[in-house]
Amino acid sequence: MTESAPSPDDFRPTPAKLPGQPERKSSESLLSRRDFIKRSVQLAVAGALVPGVLSQLLPAVAPDALGGGGAGPIIRCDPSTNSKIPITVADLDGAAPVVVTAEWNFLPAVIYKVHKSKLQGSAAKRGYNTAQFAVQHPTEDDMAIMVSQGKCKHLGCTVGFNKGLGGSSDVSDYDGDGLPDGRILCPCHQGQYDIHDLALNVPGTPPPAPLNVIRFNVANYGGDANRALPAAANAIIGAELLVQNGPREANLDPSKAFALGSQAADLEAA
């Protein structure tokens, strides 16, 4: 008589039976490692869809594939209703720099309102258009808006911003107003990026590449009943993730020294 090959269950230890615990049927197998991982990922993704739950935790561990999804508003959680709403220009009120951390396509997005004069100073210093990812603020002539993906290129933490730092390691004050320009700063391992220079990673800090940026524009948003997103005026609408794997993958044509929005999103085509 031929013996059958042993199954993986034959090598699993039998768990101790606790007092009062019912007998487990022999046909019931313990939760396999594969099933456990699968269910954990399902719960994590489901949690990210619930307003305010895991929206900041998931990006640090999620694959970049979750960033897909196409054009749509950059969103935040309304603390009064715990529902997701589009970010609008009104959320950027206040003295620049204004920094708002939000979400776009399940990954963190960071919106910046900065002085145009600092971008002009940066363009003059660097010799190329450092404002190509920026868009003119619709109601403040001296301000520009930019959006980067918030996932640090070092180990994936969500970046912050330090207003007390200079613009970069070699230039602290691009517009000569005597004040530090501020710098993107990752709280995990002090990774740094220059928001006034195409989100370039600052030399000598851990990130190996610039932050990815998001092509966007400002427009009225009609809402989306399927996603339970309300309509909003002057919403900031992301259209495309621009991946920057090297320090100089943007348009470095010196003849276009300064021009806002040269890579702004065409929302009708998006």
Cis bond upstream, residue 79 (ω within 30) = no
In total, the chain counts a number of residues equal to 270
Give residue 71's pLDDT: 83
How confident is the model over 170-226, as pLDDT tens digits?
999 999 999 999 999 999 999 999 999 999 999 999 999 999 999 999 999 999 998
Phi and psi (nearest 5°) for 269?
-90, -15
Domain assignment present for 263: no
pLDDT at 27: 43
Q: Which pLDDT score is estimated for 2?
A: 52
227 pLDDT tier (thresholds 50, 70, 90)? confident
Asked if the structure places residue 270 within a domain, the reply is no
User: Is 80 or 264 the better-scoring residue by pLDDT?
Assistant: 80
Q: Which residue has the higher pLDDT, 269 or 133?
A: 133
The answer to the question of residue 106 being in a domain is yes
Cβ neighbours, 10 Å, residue 156: 18
Strands (E), the chain: 72-73, 75-78, 83-86, 98-104, 107-115, 135-136, 143-149, 160-162, 183-185, 192-194, 200-201, 213-221, 232-242
- φ, ψ at 121 (rounded to 5°): -65, -40
Domain residues for the domain of 190 are: 32-242
Could you give the CA distance from residue 214 to residue 60 in angstroms, rounded to a whole number?
18
Residue 233 forms part of a structural domain: yes
Mean pLDDT of the chain: 78
Residue 60 has pLDDT above 60, yes or no: no
The mean pLDDT value for 49-58 works out to: 36
Cα separation, 250 vs 237, in Å, equals: 21
**Which CATH number do you get for residue 119?**
2.102.10.10
Mean pLDDT of 76-93: 93
Question: Tens digits of per-residue pLDDT, 142-157?
Answer: 999 999 999 999 999 9
To the nearest 5 percent, what fractions of the chain are helix, strand and coil? Answer: 15, 25, 60
The rounded distance, in Å, linking the Cα atoms of 157 and 61 is 9
- The yes-or-no verdict on residue 86 having pLDDT over 60 is yes
Distances (CA, A) of 95 to 40, 117, 143, 163, 228: 42, 14, 10, 12, 32
Residue 196 counted as domain residue: yes
What is the distance between the alpha carbons of residues 182 and 235, in angstroms, rounded to a whole number? 25
Closest CA to 163 of 110, 114, 97: 97
Per DSSP, the residues of 61-93 read TS-GGGG---SEE-EEEETTTTEEEE-BGGGG-
Buried b (16+ CB within 10 A) or exposed e, 17-33: eeeeeeeeeeeeeeeee
pLDDT tens-digit map of 88-132: 999 999 999 999 999 998 889 999 999 999 999 999 998 888 888
Is 125 within 8 Å of 112 (Cβ atoms)?
no
The C-alpha atoms of residue 195 and residue 161 are separated, in whole angstroms, by: 9
**How many domains are there within the chain?**
1
- Structural domain includes residue 150: yes
Contact 58, 46 (CB under 8 A): no
Q: Is the residue at 213 inside a domain?
A: yes
Task: For residue 117, give both structure tokens.
Answer: 């004069």
pTM above 0.75, yes or no: no
- In a domain, residue 152? The reply is yes
Cα dist from 52 to 55, 63, 106, 161, 231, whole Å = 6, 20, 12, 21, 20
Q: For residue 36, is pLDDT > 50?
A: no
The fraction of the chain above a pLDDT of 90, given in percent, is 54
